[in-house]
Amino acid sequence: MVGASILQYVNSWSYEFLMRQVRFDLLTWISLGLSARLDEVPFCEATLFNFQKRILQYEAEHGVNLIEKVFDSLTREKLKVLKVKTNI
């Protein structure tokens, strides 16, 4: 759902369009790391709303942006795997 939220934000997709992509678009499935079983929907719109609501509640209560933490963690991991040096 983090990946779906990121795709939605980056592409300026509506919730309706995001859910259509999640249901029917193989490229979206692959980008989210989902198995290619088109007879199943990995999550519904209500689940996504609840997930995003809880993420925002957590940030309001604890002052921690969990999406940013996931993004930073993935960035560090990829930099290490790809042996990219970020210093000058």
Contact 20, 82 (CB under 8 A): no
Domains in the chain: how many in total? 1
Reading the chain (88 residues) residue by residue, the pLDDT tens digits are 889 998 999 999 999 999 999 888 889 988 888 876 667 788 888 999 999 999 999 999 999 999 899 889 988 888 889 888 888 7
Per the structure, the complete domain to which residue 63 belongs is given by: 2-82
Q: Give the pLDDT confidence score for residue 38 in this predicted structure.
A: 67
Q: Give the pLDDT confidence score for residue 65 in this predicted structure.
A: 95
Is residue 88 a part of any domain in this protein? no
Q: Give the pLDDT confidence score for residue 36 in this predicted structure.
A: 63
Is residue 50 a part of any domain in this protein? yes
Residues 6+ apart with CB under 8 A from 18: 4, 7, 8, 48
Is residue 87 a part of any domain in this protein? no
Q: Give the pLDDT confidence score for residue 56 in this predicted structure.
A: 95
Is residue 60 a part of any domain in this protein? yes
Is residue 23 a part of any domain in this protein? yes
Contact 34, 24 (CB under 8 A): no
